[in-house]
Chain A
Amino acid sequence: MTETAQIAKTAAPARPREKKRRNVFDSLIGRSALQILAVVGFFLLWEAAVRWGWLSAFLVGQPSGVLRNLIGSIANGSLFTDTGFTIFEAILGFAFGTVIGSVIGLALWYSIFVARLVEPFIAAINSVPKIALAPIIILWFGTGLLSKVALAISLTSIVALITAYQAAKDADKDLQALLFSMGASKQHIFKRVIAPSTLPAIIATFRINIGFALVGAVVGEFISSQHGLGHVIYVASSLYDLNTVWAGLFTLMLVGFLFYHLVEVTERWLLPWKQQQGGTQINV
């Protein structure tokens, strides 16, 4: 025991100060390589399984077919039109829903009376599965763009509202007291404390609401539409055209992924005082 202790003692300082040993793959390039490998491997396995007859192409589709399908729809431009429709609906729904919800949520901070009055109603509205509203919304707003945007708004606004209101309530009381002792008005306190301290929470809802906005747009398209990725997926699945369904799904995935990164860039830009840390996204 003493011997090993001795060795450890003498060996430790002799070793040059080396950087903490890192995994060979723990770098951007290494990680990307692994990730790409995993994706390619997955598709190859899938393709092989179908070709060797382990899986039925009719039920699960086939990567080569999906790829052919994607190339075809890029060539005839329909992929861009459909993706464009869905993105447009989702962005409008996201923007209006998030803005409307945040504004109402923050406004509730101004009046404790009104806030307490409407709190149970907000809870009630929140507990309704908004997707169940889709048929009525389409009845009211038609089968065009408006109904998809409205559906996306119904999903996103309530999330933004509740988050913004809660964050405003949670804003540091001492910071507010400090400003108040300086003679600050309520508007002033709102501008200097409430708004900036709710911003991180509101941006956090961006991540969630991007998912929700896409849900709203796609579900709206499922129910009735002539365009959009939801339309493509819905029609294809009713024809058992699994390859087209996958092509639509993968495109949706790519859209969500790009939006997600857009939020990260926005966050870094709006919250320079916050240390950047990996966020989580809920996809519904």
Chain B
Amino acid sequence: MSSPKVQLRLNGIRKSFPGKEAATQVLDGLTFDIHERDFVSIIGPSGCGKTTVFNIIAGLVDPDDGVMLYRGQEVESLRGRVGYMMQKDLLFPWRTVLDNVLLGLETKGIDPKRALDTAREYLSTFGLSGFENAYPKALSGGMRQRVALIRTLVLDPDILLLDEPFSALDYQTRLYLEGILMEAVETFHKTVILVTHDIDEAVALSKRVVVLSQRPARVKAVHDIALNEHSPIAARSDPRFSGYFHTLCAELDIQTRKSA
């Protein structure tokens, strides 16, 4: 098997935030690769800087040091090219479901008629037809998350950054949305970086898992996950699933023991 092509490379990314007394070092020379059509999960202790990594990739935060290479070219950030689904669903309360989905397309200046067709198509694919004109307030948590996911996907971004997209949902809804996500990723050939607290989810969905250390975060390990099954439910009953699960648990456990 030929070595996969690197789509995004983070090299020696450092970031500290100024604090009251001393600055907090958050990222301490973070280095990892994302391949073309990769599905990478980033796991690590709470507060270690996972969201900060996403903010840097998306151009919301400037790193103190380090470089980012996109398909071999140095870039400042991937602003405008990523689909960033933040930890909160961040639906615009004054916009209907349809208008929320249209938000990114408007920003990109896509022809309104075409944008409307695309948005409607996605909504019906994700089982949300009939809710186009509802306001976010009237939706359940799972539906809100689905709308946020559609809003991210419909942009057709080069890379999806998903920051704990399903962590606030019940197990059943989460499995369902994981399935929807996997289908969409396969259909549209997307590259995904997923931040999650859920090792279970990381193993079931990803091709690779990046484990970050306690703050200041460095890459502790990168694991390739090779499961035969890729639907979220089937993957969880794959014979190799529990092996990966325990390896990753062990790695995070060491972290927590150290901090305790």
Nearest 8 Cβ contacts at the A-B interface: A183-B80, A181-B58, A181-B84, A273-B94, A182-B107, A273-B135, A184-B107, A196-B94
Residues of B near A179 (CB, < 8 A) are 103, 107
Interface size on B, residues (CB 8 A): 24
Residues of A near B44 (CB, < 8 A) are none
Q: How far is the CA of A197 from the CA of B84 in the complex (A)?
A: 22
- Main DSSP-derived SS at the A contact region: helix
Binding site for B on A (CB under 8 A): 172, 174-175, 177-184, 188, 192-193, 196-197, 199, 271-275
A122 to chain B, nearest CB (A): 27
Q: Determine if B60 is an interface residue (Cβ-Cβ < 8 Å).
A: yes
Residues of B near A271 (CB, < 8 A) are 94
Q: Determine if B86 is an interface residue (Cβ-Cβ < 8 Å).
A: yes
Q: CB distance B86 to A180 under 8 Å?
A: no
Residues of A near B79 (CB, < 8 A) are 180-181, 183
Residues of B near A181 (CB, < 8 A) are 58-60, 79-80, 82, 84
Q: How far is the CA of A184 from the CA of B104 in the complex (A)?
A: 9
Decide yes or no: A197 and B108 within 8 Å by CB, A180-B59, A181-B79 being known contacts.
no
B86 to chain A, nearest CB (A): 6
Decide yes or no: A183 and B137 within 8 Å by CB, A175-B92, A178-B84, A271-B94 being known contacts.
no
Q: CB distance B108 to A182 under 8 Å?
A: yes
Q: CB distance B92 to A196 under 8 Å?
A: yes
Q: CB distance A192 to B60 under 8 Å?
A: no
Q: How far is the CA of A56 from the CA of B81 in the complex (A)?
A: 80
> Total contacts A to B, CB within 8 angstroms?
56
Residues of A near B108 (CB, < 8 A) are 182-183
Residues of B near A193 (CB, < 8 A) are 92
Q: How far is the CA of A193 from the CA of B137 in the complex (A)?
A: 17
A244 to chain B, nearest CB (A): 48
Q: CB distance A174 to B137 under 8 Å?
A: no
Residues of B near A192 (CB, < 8 A) are 92, 103, 106-107
Q: How far is the CA of A120 from the CA of B162 in the complex (A)?
A: 43
Q: How far is the CA of A178 from the CA of B86 in the complex (A)?
A: 8
Q: CB distance A174 to B86 under 8 Å?
A: yes
Q: CB distance A175 to B90 under 8 Å?
A: yes
Q: Determine if B246 is an interface residue (Cβ-Cβ < 8 Å).
A: no
B195 to chain A, nearest CB (A): 15
Q: How far is the CA of A255 from the CA of B92 in the complex (A)?
A: 37
| Interface 0/1 of B67-99, CB less than 8 Å to A | 000000000000111101010101011110000
| Docked complex: B204-259 residues within 8 A CB-CB of A | none
Q: How far is the CA of A275 from the CA of B136 in the complex (A)?
A: 12
Residues of A near B95 (CB, < 8 A) are 273
Q: Determine if B155 is an interface residue (Cβ-Cβ < 8 Å).
A: yes
Q: CB distance B86 to A188 under 8 Å?
A: no
Q: How far is the CA of A183 from the CA of B107 in the complex (A)?
A: 7
Q: How far is the CA of A271 from the CA of B135 in the complex (A)?
A: 12
Q: How far is the CA of A181 from the CA of B108 in the complex (A)?
A: 11
Q: CB distance A180 to B103 under 8 Å?
A: no
A200 to chain B, nearest CB (A): 9
In the complex, residue of chain A having the shortest beta-carbon distance to the beta carbon of B78: A181
Residues of A near B58 (CB, < 8 A) are 181
